[in-house]
Amino acid sequence: MEQQIADLLDEQEELDLPQEQLEAAEGESEEESEEESSQGEKFPKTRAARIQRLVRDAAVSRNVKDLYGGECQACGLRLVGPDGRPYSEGAHIRPLGKPHCGPDVEPNVLCLCPNCHVRLDIGAIIIEDDWSIIVRAGELGGNVLSKLKRKKEHHVHLDYVRYHREWWLEKGDPSQE
């Protein structure tokens, strides 16, 4: 069930459709079910929906994450699960979906911990041309976090970094949104 929720969140995040169209489409062919246990516990409803999503090349993120051994390129954190395997996320610098239309290629992907991935996605951190990571929100706002860790085999493209930075600088201070 947890995997289904994670998959659903991924799908919702990657949709090309505006939220209004998604809600309208959900209303068209909808099957809902609600289960109740013998102890009277209520479980969440399930809903069948037709969606359109971007199909990522899983090998792209996997290659970048393997190159760094699961260590976050931004903060250096290496999360390890109970099975001993590292957990990290492949984060696209220039997002894949509209309006960004970034490519699903290794030079556009970073190996990040979940927190730094979210920070990148909401513009709370940006990367300068010298690879300095600037924190834009919270108590550390305006401070340099560190330099982005890079390996010579991973050719992060500055065009994607610049796109990300310019996009978020145009949007303003993330702590004010």
Number of domains in the chain: 2
Amino acid 123: pLDDT: 94
Amino acid 144: pLDDT: 78
Q: How far apart are CA 138 and CA 118, in angstroms?
A: 14
For the chain, list the strands marked E by DSSP.
Answer: 31-33, 46-48, 79-80, 86-87, 89-92, 109-112, 125-127, 132-135, 144-147
In a domain, 98, yes or no: yes
* 91-133 confidence digits (pLDDT tens): 999 999 899 999 999 999 999 999 999 999 999 999 999 999 9
Does 131 lie in the same domain as 64? Answer: yes
Does 65 lie in the same domain as 136? Answer: yes
Mean pLDDT of the chain: 82
Does 110 lie in the same domain as 30? Answer: no
Query: Is the entire prediction scored with pTM above 0.85?
Result: no
Domain containing 95: what range? 58-176
Q: Which of 110, 63, 115 is nearest to 90 (CA)?
A: 110
44, 80, 108, 152 from 120: Cα distances, Å: 31, 21, 13, 22
* 32-42 confidence digits (pLDDT tens): 555 666 677 88
Does 98 lie in the same domain as 158? Answer: yes
In a domain, 53, yes or no: no
